């Protein structure tokens, strides 16, 4: 038999096998074709294994209360806390943190003791009531009572954490003023409850939730001292009366001495002591007070000086508490090197490694054009900067003058441009033109309102720090004169310090760039330098003395009202970040007279 010949049986098997394979391949190809044209199959959802159910009566009761609470009504913050607690307890099969079968644990007792000290931290202890675990005499508390206590303790602890981090005022910018661009430094409720459960010393953990900045702690100690005293500090007022003149006697002189802390005169051999006599020592003190208050230092106590002496607020815990609340909104890490401006103090400081290395006077915004409160990062310093006029000034202050035919636009160094090309402002029909469509700027130069230097830290408020050509205003005690930016009395020294830290430059390098460098020369800052604009009306100085400042913008009052629940009384004012509307073609009745008058009177530096 030929080797190509096969037995019939084997041949049949092979043929049948080939047919089966061919059919299978055809079926597979057809199936693939159908799969390619059909809708994709729905994805199978992953199987979620529910957490184990509690077996003990306390766990069952706690699970039921958390489930029922999730369906109840609560404010947004409490709803978030309850959701976090539901997930937390489910993950530990509803094992308690604060209670045992006999009642509250030692951990709960330590937390309750700390809650009771809330007043010392500028909070209200009444906001954190301890739970009451009831039981019949001689009986252990019921699972239901223990579950109530467990849930109450956790909710109170989360509330304490939220308040310690500044959460009593959730969004200062929308609730108080758009100029207060701060946020509470809140922690996630899940993080807090997990850390509380793991904490060996729960009281220490609760204390660390508060701001750790030394400035906060100093204010806290002053608050404790103030509350330890029988009452807040009282101030003796100077009654109405005749002028108090040097060399004359008057019964009110003794009050004046006590107010200004001038010792009583000492008797001599030829002259008895007269505590009612206005002597030279008292005159020196009166003149110093008058100068500090921004009035004529003539030593005469008339109606104006009397009013200044009596225009004092009685220092109360509420003032310190409002300022402590602001510290709860501050960044926890301000950086190794930063610039800070305290608006009510009209003072700038440069701080390195926690120590103040430079202090300077600043001018801040008018009451209706406030310097905002926020934190950013210094990005650059511009030498011989160009001033780009913002829309708010273009619309509200330049446009009315132009519309009435102001002709001194160029004489004051202002320029009008569009698409990069300068335009003669007299060629524009301002009665039908939107000034926002044009760029208005002032080139670098001796008359530029920004002076020689501008410090840039980009922010949504479009404010910055800069030099000024109106230096006489720095002699004033109260200095809210700008359109929101901060004018620095000695910007060269500030630039020397910052660029020495950033690039190792010296004063000669700075002077050369100012004198010989290109105009509008922006030097980038490589090192991270924070900028913190603050609003503190109470602080403790380096000598440990409590200092206060006038509430120039009313932010302290707003905070105090919010903490007292007087939300309806808060005067928030307009949103300064709202878009600037197109100017209205109305007759201008202001007193500037011309763009030139506007520049010299209203700006004096932006």
Residues 508 and 399 both lie in one domain = no
Evaluate whether residue 272 is within a structural domain: yes
Average pLDDT over residues 404-429: 78
Residues 80 and 196 both lie in one domain = yes
Q: Per the structure block, which two tokens stand in for 571? A: 């005067």
Residue-level pLDDT at 268: 74
Which of 153, 175, 209 is the endpoint of a domain?
Answer: 209
Stretch (H or E) spanning 362: strand 355-365
Band the pLDDT of 70: cuts 50, 70, 90: low
Band the pLDDT of 409: cuts 50, 70, 90: low
Q: Per the structure block, which two tokens stand in for 82? A: 């309850």
Nearest CA to 253 among 314, 309, 311? 309
Separation of alpha carbons 248 and 271, rounded Å = 15
Evaluate whether residue 315 is within a structural domain: no
Helices (H) and strands (E) in the chain, counts: 19, 19
Band the pLDDT of 585: cuts 50, 70, 90: low
Nearest CA to 399 among 421, 376, 375, 432? 432
Nearest CA to 582 among 417, 409, 396, 425? 396
Residue-level pLDDT at 560: 98
Residue-level pLDDT at 265: 80
Band the pLDDT of 313: cuts 50, 70, 90: low
Look at residue 421 and give its three-state secondary structure. Answer: strand
57-71, 403-417, 476-490: segment of lowest average pLDDT = 403-417
Q: Which of 195-209, 283-297, 405-419 is predicted most confidently?
A: 195-209
User: Tokens 């609470």 label which residue?
Assistant: 69
Residues 431 and 454 both lie in one domain = no
Residues 100 and 195 both lie in one domain = yes
Residue-level pLDDT at 25: 46
Residue-level pLDDT at 48: 59
Residue-level pLDDT at 272: 77
Residue-level pLDDT at 220: 98
Q: pLDDT tens digit string along 350-395?
A: 999 999 999 999 999 999 999 999 999 999 999 999 988 888 888 8
Whether 98 contacts 141, CB under 8 Å: no
Residue 333 pLDDT greater than 80, yes or no: yes
Residue 603 pLDDT greater than 90, yes or no: no
Please tell me the total count of domains within the chain: 4
Residues 95 and 144 both lie in one domain = yes
Residues 539 and 566 both lie in one domain = no
Which of 146, 177, 209 is the endpoint of a domain?
Answer: 209
117-126, 152-161, 190-199, 247-256: segment of lowest average pLDDT = 247-256
Residues 391 and 433 both lie in one domain = yes
Backbone angles phi, psi at 332, to 5 degrees: -65, -35
The number of residues making up the chain comes to 606
CATH of the domain at 346: 2.40.440.10
Evaluate whether residue 42 is within a structural domain: no
Comparing 26 with 426, the larger pLDDT belongs to: 426
CA atoms within 13 A on the CB side of 534: 28
Residue 589 pLDDT greater than 80, yes or no: no
Evaluate whether residue 37 is within a structural domain: no
Evaluate whether residue 4 is within a structural domain: no
Q: How many CB atoms lie within 10 A of CB 542?
A: 7
Look at residue 473 and give its three-state secondary structure. Answer: helix
User: pTM for the full model?
Assistant: 0.78
Band the pLDDT of 470: cuts 50, 70, 90: confident
Residue-level pLDDT at 413: 80
Average pLDDT over residues 120-147: 90
| Mean pLDDT of the chain, nearest integer | 86
Evaluate whether residue 246 is within a structural domain: no
Residue-level pLDDT at 10: 41
Q: pLDDT tens digit string along 35-49?
A: 344 445 555 556 656
Residue-level pLDDT at 428: 85
Which of 184, 209, 234 is the endpoint of a domain?
Answer: 209
Residues 158 and 85 both lie in one domain = yes
Which DSSP string do the residues of 26-73 spell out, in sequence order? Answer: HHHHHHHHHHHHSPPPPPPPPPPPPPPPP-SHHHHHHHHHHHHHHTS-
Evaluate whether residue 29 is within a structural domain: no
Residues 489 and 536 both lie in one domain = yes
Residues 196 and 102 both lie in one domain = yes
Comparing 271 with 335, the larger pLDDT belongs to: 335
Q: pLDDT tens digit string along 437-468?
A: 888 888 898 888 999 999 999 999 999 999 99
Strands 453-456 and 380-383: antiparallel
CA distances to 120, 223, 232, 479, 532 from 377, in Å: 34, 32, 39, 25, 8
Domain range enclosing 285: 253-310
Residues 474 and 531 both lie in one domain = yes
Evaluate whether residue 245 is within a structural domain: no
Average pLDDT over residues 299-312: 88
Residues 476 and 347 both lie in one domain = yes
CA distances to 349, 362, 378 from 356, in Å: 6, 16, 18
11-20, 144-153, 180-189, 518-527: segment of lowest average pLDDT = 11-20
């Amino acid at each position: 038999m030929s080797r190509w010949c096969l037995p019939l049986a084997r041949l049949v098997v092979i043929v049948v096998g080939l047919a089966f394979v061919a059919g299978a391949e055809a079926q597979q190809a057809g199936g693939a074709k159908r799969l390619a044209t059909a809708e994709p199959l729905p994805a199978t959802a992953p199987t979620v294994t529910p957490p184990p159910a509690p077996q003990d009566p306390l766990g069952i009761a706690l699970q039921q209360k958390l489930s029922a609470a999730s369906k109840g009504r609560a404010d947004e913050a409490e709803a978030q806390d309850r959701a976090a607690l539901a997930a937390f307890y489910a993950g530990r099969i509803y094992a308690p943190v604060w209670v045992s079968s006999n009642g509250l644990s030692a951990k709960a007792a330590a937390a309750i003791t700390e809650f009771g000290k809330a007043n010392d931290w500028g909070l209200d202890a009444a906001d954190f009531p301890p739970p009451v675990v009831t039981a019949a005499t001689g009986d252990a508390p019921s699972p239901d009572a223990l579950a109530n206590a467990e849930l109450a303790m956790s909710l109170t602890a989360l509330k304490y954490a939220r308040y310690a981090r500044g959460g009593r005022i959730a969004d200062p910018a929308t609730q108080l003023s758009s100029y207060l661009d701060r946020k509470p430094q809140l922690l996630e409720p899940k993080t807090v409850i997990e850390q509380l459960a793991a904490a060996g010393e729960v009281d220490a953990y609760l204390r660390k939730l508060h701001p750790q900045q030394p400035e906060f702690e100093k204010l806290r100690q002053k608050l404790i001292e103030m509350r330890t005293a029988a009452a807040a500090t009282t101030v003796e007022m100077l009654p109405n009366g005749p002028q108090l003149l040097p060399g004359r006697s008057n019964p009110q002189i003794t009050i004046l001495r006590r107010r200004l802390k001038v010792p009583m005169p000492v008797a001599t051999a030829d002259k008895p002591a007269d505590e009612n006599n206005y002597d030279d020592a008292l005159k020196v003190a009166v003149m110093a007070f008058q100068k500090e208050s921004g009035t004529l230092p003539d030593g005469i106590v008339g109606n104006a000086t009397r009013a200044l002496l009596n225009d004092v607020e009685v220092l109360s815990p509420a003032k310190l508490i409002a300022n402590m609340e602001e510290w709860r909104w501050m960044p926890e890490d301000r950086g190794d090197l930063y610039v800070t401006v305290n608006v009510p103090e009209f003072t700038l400081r440069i701080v390195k490694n926690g120590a103040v290395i430079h202090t300077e006077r600043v001018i801040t915004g008018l009451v209706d054009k406030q310097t905002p409160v926020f934190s950013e990062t210094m990005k650059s310093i511009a030498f011989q900067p160009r001033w780009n006029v913002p829309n708010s000034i273009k619309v509200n202050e330049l446009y009315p003058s132009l519309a009435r035919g102001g002709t001194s636009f160029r004489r004051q160094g202002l320029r009008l441009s569009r698409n990069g090309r300068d335009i003669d402002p007299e060629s524009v029909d301002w009665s039908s033109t939107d000034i926002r469509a044009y760029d208005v700027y002032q080139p670098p130069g001796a008359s530029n309102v920004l002076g020689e230097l501008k410090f840039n830290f980009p922010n949504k408020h479009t404010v910055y720090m800069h030099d000024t050509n109106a230096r006489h205003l720095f002699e004033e005690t109260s200095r809210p004169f700008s359109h929101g930016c901060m004018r620095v009395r000695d910007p060269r020294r500030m630039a020397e310090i910052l660029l020495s830290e950033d690039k190792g430059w010296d004063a000669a390098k700075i002077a050369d760039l100012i004198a010989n460098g290109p105009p509008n020369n922006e030097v980038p800052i490589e090192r991270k330098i924070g900028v913190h604009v603050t609003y503190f009306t109470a602080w403790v100085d380096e000598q440990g003395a409590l200092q206060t400042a006038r509430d120039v913008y009313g932010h302290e009052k707003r905070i105090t009202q919010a903490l007292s629940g007087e939300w309806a009384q808060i005067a928030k004012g307009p949103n300064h970040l709202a878009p600037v509307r197109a100017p209205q073609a109305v007759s201008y009745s202001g007193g500037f007279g011309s763009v030139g008058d506007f520049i010299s009177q209203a700006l004096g530096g932006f």
